[in-house]
Structure 1
Amino acid sequence: MSASSITSRIRCLNKTQRLSAAGVSAIVVAALSLSLVPAHAETPAQPQTEPQAASAAPAAFSLDAGAPQAKVIQASLIEQHSTAEQLVKAADAVRAKQAAAKAKAQAEADAAKAKAEAAAQAKEDAAKRSTEVTTRSEARTPVYANNLDGWISEALAIMKAKGIPGSYDGLHRNIMRESTGNPNAINGWDINAQNGIPSKGLLQVIQPTFNAYHVPGTSMNIYDPVANITAAANYAADRYGSIDNVNSAY
């Protein structure tokens, strides 16, 4: 039963109670009126011309005739009142149940919203951290000078990442002996030149050796300083254990 239907019934009961109360009043008044007339009184045939003397004792009267009906109506009113109270309590219970259900639904909706917002925030934070890491990584990427010192330093970083042994001193020493630091140096007189494959670059590498020991990620140009150094160091590591062990033509 809905709260609105219970309220409607209560209103109907209140109206019935008012009507019943009015009926009880009318019955009581009628009973009183009838009881005030003495049971032995007779209707005079003619109006009295002279006032009669008052009785020494008042006429007796009784409400016994109306009492049974009044008790029945009173019992009915009490029963209706009890029913009305029960309906009011039932309506209050329905409203309380509806309010609890509404509060529960709202709490669940708020929890779902908070969870979705937390997930979105976590995703946003993760993306932000990823961007920050990338930015820091890019910021840490060293910029090497475009000179012999810079070429050797960059070549050493690549060699370390690839597991190729060698030191700054070993590279610098062999470069100065082979090309005096000129990345475009070319040997046109040794046996390799006589065979048509002259040595080239900082560490005077012939093309077949460069191709065989080229380090991935570096240029394929044999005259590129970093590519020439790393390929030569890779070859020396394979043949001599390290470029540091090379002290003459190799």
Structure 2
Amino acid sequence: MPKNILTRGHSRSLTRNHKIAIAGVGALGAAVLAISAVPASGHTTATSEAAPAAKVAYSSEQIKDVKTSVTDQLAGTSEKLAAIDAKQQAAADAKKQAATQAAAKERAAKQAASRSAERAEVKQVAAKSYPDNLNGWINEALSIMKAKGIPGSYHGLHKNIMRESSGNPKAINDWDINAINGIPSKGLLQVIPPTFKAYHVAGTSWNIYDPVANITAAANYAADKYGTIDNVNSAY
């Protein structure tokens, strides 16, 4: 029996053409299934009724984000404005403080200059040479009194000196009520120590027996109590 006779239970191997034909049939079948899946009422042609325009969807979260962004921007702007105001206020305060300090320094400088001028004036008066006698003492005292604004004349000083001490700068009263109380009157114009201390004129000696210091302190006291030493005509 020949070997190449086909039997019912055997099939030949698929050739390349067979495979291509089978693939084409499969694709055609899939297309048919897709068409059959379209509902019967469906249409493949365009209708006169246009499809509604697609609407853009906005979620509440998107709106919330926008509001939050605007709020944040406003808050940031407010903070910047507040910072600018604070900076301007700080600058104004600093300028005001600087002006106050400058004014205080100017006042202090003027006061210091005034004191320096006063000391220089007293030194100038003291530097002037006066004879060491009653006439010289009175004239030197008058120069200091003029510089200090203490009123009095040569005549007023001289008449009271002659009445109180006869021109003796070392004179001391050891019998009146002041002496009894332990504070005797001393010097040309017979001044008690407490009065001399209270009415002492700056720039003069603190020695109560010093002629110029004694005269100026007594004239200063008389100016306070009587207006001027010229108004004193008796014990004072």
TM-score by length of structure 1 reads 0.44
Task: Write 1 or 2 for the structure with the bigger share of helix.
Answer: 1
